Amino acid sequence: MKLLFIRHSLAVDREEFIGHDFDRPLTEKGKKRARKFFRVIKKIYPHIDIIITSKAKRALQTAEILKEFYDCEFEITSKLYPGANINDLKEVLEEKVGIIAIVGHEPDLSEMIKSIMHAPNLKIKLQKPSLVEIEENVIKGLFQYKHFRELNE
């Protein structure tokens, strides 16, 4: 199993948003940035078997943009809401195989990565948007939007 941990793109600031945090959407800039990012990611990862996303609107919108680039299964779960942990991830991944994209939130994704790698002191923080590939408990790739910015302009 190969896991692609993806942090959602730019969302409306908490301070500016009236409503529940789970309902905060992506900004227009966040949507454009996600499309640019995933256009390059598609070249690196031509195939994904399943996208699993948090139900929170900003993650769901990011996952829907990712889905525009892939013909794959799509699963929405409340188990990946902000505050999710490694046990929630294990539940979500039960009986899954292949290349799996997990779209979620910080610091949850970083904590899951540290747990999978058995590296509690690892210093990692995913930017918006970014992707970390984990296979056989090892980070095989780390891509952030800023790495591709020039390619998309």
Query: What domains can be seen in the chain, in order of their start residue?
Result: 2-152 (3.40.50.1240)
Other beta carbons less than 10 A from residue 96's beta carbon? 14
For 106-110, the CB contacts below 8 A with 24+ separation are: 106/7, 108/80, 108/82, 108/83, 108/84, 109/5, 109/6, 109/7
**Confidence (pLDDT) at 15:** 87
**Confidence (pLDDT) at 150:** 66
**Confidence (pLDDT) at 151:** 61
| pTM confidence score | 0.95
Residue 79, classed as helix, strand or coil, is helix
For the chain, 153 residues long, the average pLDDT of each consecutive 10-residue run is 97 90 95 96 97 98 98 98 97 97 98 96 94 96 86 55
Q: Which residues pair with 143 in a beta bridge?
A: 131
Q: Token match 């747990």: residue?
A: 115
Burial profile 119-135: b = 16 or more Cβ within 10 angstroms, e = fewer: eeeeebebebbbbbbbe
How many whole angstroms separate alpha carbon 153 and alpha carbon 150?
Answer: 5
